Homo-oligomer: A and B are copies of this chain.
Amino acid sequence: MERSLKNIKMVVAYEGTAYAGFQLQINGPTIQGEIEKAILKITGEPIHILGAGRTDAGVHAWGQVVNFKSATTIPLSKFKKALNSVLPRDIVIRIVTEVAPDFHAQHSAISKTYIYRLYHSNERPLFERNLVYYYPYPLQVNKMNEVLPYIVGEHDFKSFQASGSLIQTTIRKVNHCRLDVTGMEIRIIINANGFLYHMVRNIAGTLIQIGGGQINGADFQKIMEAKDRKRAGPTAPAQGLCLQEVIYST
């Protein structure tokens, strides 16, 4: 007898502080592991989920997307509540829908938006302390804004890729990149058709050097052209990063 499998898409938010990243691994709890345990509890199915992006240890998400095939007969309207009732409080299933059989959380994505949060103040952050990178040194936001046009568009972002990555192409298209300054926070908001490993954190680290005056706009262009990780700034800490949204064509 053939089982009828649903392809289920879920939008998931989490605070990554307590986790060794999204993807299953042996050295610590993961977001994937917790969600798979919750699905097993609710449906009895020992399945694996696919995530749109493999966020690192300490990285957060508001709009991570996962999908999996399930034979569950639980109505989707109840599925979200059931999963949330057994998940830890730092992981929240926001939306559950049934999608076409060929939907793939990673391959079907047309773009993703990440937000990097800098807390720029003399005062330590309190309530946001695990969600921001506390940066108490001088920063000129106008200088940071000036280099954003170099980032937008289709470019080879090899200089912003973690060294040692083995992938076919390091060309990505950044659809938009802007800064949003609110209160003590400077948010770097970047949308692209794909991201290299550590790309947002390396861009953030380099933008901080621009804001601090260690390098200027011409240096930034040279870093882009060099296609050499050693030329760009340091990798900004994981805790400031959040996978905000994954966009699909339908």
Tell me the A residues contacting B by CB distance below 8 Å.
13-15, 60, 62, 84, 89-90, 92, 94, 123-124, 126-127, 129, 131
Contact = CB atoms under 8 A, between A and B. Distances in A.
Residues of A contacting B: mostly: loop
Contacts of A14: 126
A127 B15 CA distance: 7
Nearest to A13: B126
A127 B13 CA distance: 9
16 contacts: A13-B126, A14-B126, A15-B126, A15-B127, A60-B127, A62-B126, A84-B124, A89-B124, A89-B129, A90-B126, A90-B129, A92-B123, A92-B124, A92-B126, A94-B123, A127-B131
Contacts of A62: 126
A85 to B, nearest CB: 10
Contacts of A123: 92, 94
Contacts of A60: 127
Contacts of A124: 84, 89, 92
Nearest to A81: B122
A238 to B, nearest CB: 16
Given A62-B126, A90-B129, 13 more contacts: A13-B126, A14-B126, A15-B126, A15-B127, A60-B127, A84-B124, A89-B124, A89-B129, A92-B123, A92-B124, A92-B126, A94-B123, A127-B131
Nearest to A131: B127
Contacts of A89: 124, 129
Contacts of A94: 123
A62 B125 CA distance: 11
The residue in A60, A62, A126 that gathers the most chain B C-beta atoms within 10 A of its C-beta is A126
Q: Which 10 A-B pairs have the closest CB atoms?
A: A92-B126, A13-B126, A92-B124, A89-B129, A84-B124, A127-B131, A15-B127, A94-B123, A15-B126, A92-B123
Contacts of A127: 15, 60, 131
A156 B69 CA distance: 61
A14 B125 CA distance: 10
Contacts of A90: 126, 129
A170 B210 CA distance: 58
A89 B60 CA distance: 19
A55 to B, nearest CB: 14
Contacts of A92: 123-124, 126
